[in-house]
Amino acid sequence: MKIAPLPLPMPRDTRFGKGASKLLLPLCAAFGTKGLVVHSASVKKNGRLEALLSEKPGETDCWQHEGGEPALVQTEAMRRYIQNTAPHWVAAIGGGSVLDLARAAAGLSQAPLSVQEYHDGAEIPESPLPFIAVPTTAGTGSEATTVSVLTNTATGVKKSIRHPSFMARLVLLDPELMTGTPASVLAASGMDALTQAIEAFCSRGATCLTDALAKDAAEKVFNALPGACSGDPSFFDDMMLGSYMAGLALASARLGLVHGLAHPLGARYHAAHGLVCAFCLPPVLAFNRPVIPGKYDTLKRIFRRDPLEAIAALIQKLPLASPFTGQVLSDTQAIIEETLASGSTKANPRDVSADQVQALLNHLFQ
Ligand SMILES: [Fe+2]
């Protein structure tokens, strides 16, 4: 008899609801008196950071992410700061980039090698430093995973590092933090969440547990995304929960070819990750369709119409423009090699050849 594993690692403590982020300092007191809060520029500018830190003034230090997708050099700088200041915990408040950066810097703060060596494949040791995630966007699901996607700006290589001990000890899901996010950002990050839900659902690593999360996540995000982009905050709850649930699903099930393509394309064309995902999703789903008839039918029930038609109609409704229009495809061989080597591509339900990746790229850049 074959015994199948059903892994589902999760953050130990998750709080959800409007105002949940105000619990940051009171709950972090359990990890120690001295903390580092890594944040985006926007949470400082809109006053939310100050409001959170006023809940329980103490020995809390701050680090502002300078912006952009997290790079090795930023991670190394933050890691050195953590080594020098020795906080008892590290919290990140911001979008997926801020969360990924802080998780990697905190997770590697006591590791002996350089960040680049771990990015190049060295084995990562266990991290004892508690990490706390407070997402301000609904998209990456980074708060639910043990993964940080980092770019080596010297080589242009964008890939993930991961360790089970990188999992957040505490996640605060506060839909109020999404207020004021531009519609274009809500749309792109929401399409990342939808792509992740669909890819986790169709992945070779999917289990009945990840399927339950991925299906509900796909339904929540698909139904809430247009309303959220119109600025109606009543849709933010489902966006934030759906994004988190997709993150939980992908942390165990992995993803697929959209994410295999998204990393090399995003690094070269400097396009928002969610935007790249949005436009890679339809051709990849069409490519996978012959090998996932049952799952395709399930998606049809969730979207109440053919999934490819439903996704095309959704993209039309949202403020999204293809990042590939007017661009020239170059460095093709390297893009194909990185796509084929990606762990996400390996989880794709259909095997893919170099020629098939080339055909997908030609389609995207036509
Ligand atoms: Fe993603």
Ligand 1 centroid from CA 141, angstroms: 8
> Taking 70 as the threshold, does the pLDDT of residue 103 lie above it?
yes
> Taking 80 as the threshold, does the pLDDT of residue 338 lie above it?
yes
Ligand 1 centroid from CA 85, angstroms: 32
> Taking 70 as the threshold, does the pLDDT of residue 125 lie above it?
yes
Ligand 1 centroid from CA 279, angstroms: 12
Ligand 1 centroid from CA 86, angstroms: 31
pLDDT 10s digits, 152-200: 999 888 888 999 999 999 999 999 999 999 999 999 999 999 999 999 9
Q: How much is the average pLDDT of 313-323?
A: 96
Ligand 1 centroid from CA 108, angstroms: 22
pLDDT of residue 11: 97
Ligand 1 centroid from CA 308, angstroms: 19
pLDDT of residue 58: 66
Ligand 1 centroid from CA 198, angstroms: 11
**What spatial distance separates the first Cα and last Cα of the chain, rounded to whole Å?**
50
CA–CA separation, 61 and 71 (whole Å):
22
pLDDT of residue 318: 97
Confidence of residue 127 (pLDDT cuts 50, 70, 90): very high
> Taking 80 as the threshold, does the pLDDT of residue 57 lie above it?
no
> Taking 90 as the threshold, does the pLDDT of residue 69 lie above it?
no
Ligand 1 centroid from CA 276, angstroms: 9
pLDDT of residue 56: 65
DSSP letters for 147-201: EEEEEETTTTEEEEEE-GGGS-SEEEE-GGGGTT--HHHHHHHHHHHHHHHHHHH
Ligand 1 centroid from CA 326, angstroms: 24
pLDDT of residue 284: 98
% of the chain with per-residue pLDDT over 70? 99
% of the chain with per-residue pLDDT over 90? 90
In the chain, what are the domains? Answer: 13-118+126-177 (3.40.50.1970), 185-364 (1.20.1090.10)
CA–CA separation, 313 and 365 (whole Å):
20
> Taking 80 as the threshold, does the pLDDT of residue 60 lie above it?
yes
Ligand 1 centroid from CA 273, angstroms: 7
Q: How much is the average pLDDT of 123-131?
A: 98
CB distance 119 to 71 below 8 Å: no
